[in-house]
Amino acid sequence: MRMILLGPPGAGKGTQAVRLVERLGIPQLSTGDMLRAAVTAGTPVGVKAKELMDRGDLVPDDVVVGIIADRIELPDAKSGFILDGFPRTVAQAESFDAMLAEKGLKLDAVIEFKVNEAELVDRIVKRAKETEARGEPVRKDDNPDVFKTRLEAYRKQTAPLSVYYSEKGQLKTVDGMKPIDEVTEAIKGILGR
């Protein structure tokens, strides 16, 4: 099963991805997590990405496409994966389609999380507080100011992907404002398992 979770920051993609990992036994591939790891490790990619991420802008397409191309080659991704936060531009989606076609692989599902943007800032603030309460480091971009830039990047660069996948007949949607368990059930309904 190869699937994409699409939706703005704070929509609940990561939360559902964790549940899908448990249920389907395939890995969650989050470009955000991979980039944060690169920043922490101080790799050349991390150095390049840090400033863009801190201000809420997207990292260049070639960087993330390269990361995903390498990642899907690893053994644990052979039987499938859940993409969380990738693709984020039409150019990334086109590169990814070409990558799959070259390998003779197909995409099984693209699930878009529909949300009320006005409520997302509250979710992000809550996420930051909960992270802090667990004694874990809070993401630098999980603050209302940077969040606005991330949302803007989503509207301008990522939202066109709904049209891209819908024209290909691959887009399914869930109501991301519903309680977590209900969203999980809706996804189960779409996937048929």
Output the smallest distance, CB 92 to ligand AMP, in A.
Answer: 6
Residue 175, helix vs strand vs coil? strand
> Which amino acid, one-letter code, is at 116?
N
DSSP 64: H
- Nearer CB in complex with ligand AMP: 87/176: 87
Stretch that binds ligand AMP, among 53-61, 101-109, 122-130, 181-189 (CB under 6 A): 53-61
Any catalytic annotation for residue 23?
A: no
155 is catalytic: no
Q: Please state, in angstroms and rounded to a whole number, the distance separating the CA atoms of residues 73 and 88.
A: 20
From the candidates 2, 36, 123, 150, give the one annotated as an active-site residue.
150
85 binds ligand AMP (CB under 6 A): yes
8, 9, 12, 27: which one binds ligand AMP (CB under 6 A)? 9
Going from the C-alpha of 103 to that of each of 29, 73, 106, the distances in angstroms are 18, 10, 9
First to last CA, the chain: 11
Query: Which tokens go with 104?
Result: 């003779």
Figure out which of the listed residues 7, 12, 32, 176 binds ligand AMP, where binding follows CB under 6 A.
Answer: 32
Query: Based on CB atoms, which residue is closest to ligand AMP, 144 or 189?
Result: 144
* Ranges within 87-116 binding ligand AMP (CB under 6 A): 87-88, 92
* Sole binder of ligand AMP in the list 7, 8, 17, 31 (CB under 6 A): 31
Query: Which residues lie closer than 8 Å to 127 by C-beta, 6 or more apart?
Result: 10, 142
Which candidate, 55, 11, 56, places its Cα nearest to that of 178? Answer: 11
Identified catalytic residue from 19, 55, 139, 140: 139
| 182 φ/ψ angles, rounded to the nearest 5 degrees | -70, -35
CA–chain centroid gap for 44, Å, is 22
From 19, 55, 127, 172, the catalytic residue: 127
Which residues are marked as active site? 13, 88, 127, 139, 150
Residues that bind ligand AMP (CB under 6 A): 9, 31-32, 35, 52-53, 56-59, 64, 85-88, 92, 141, 150
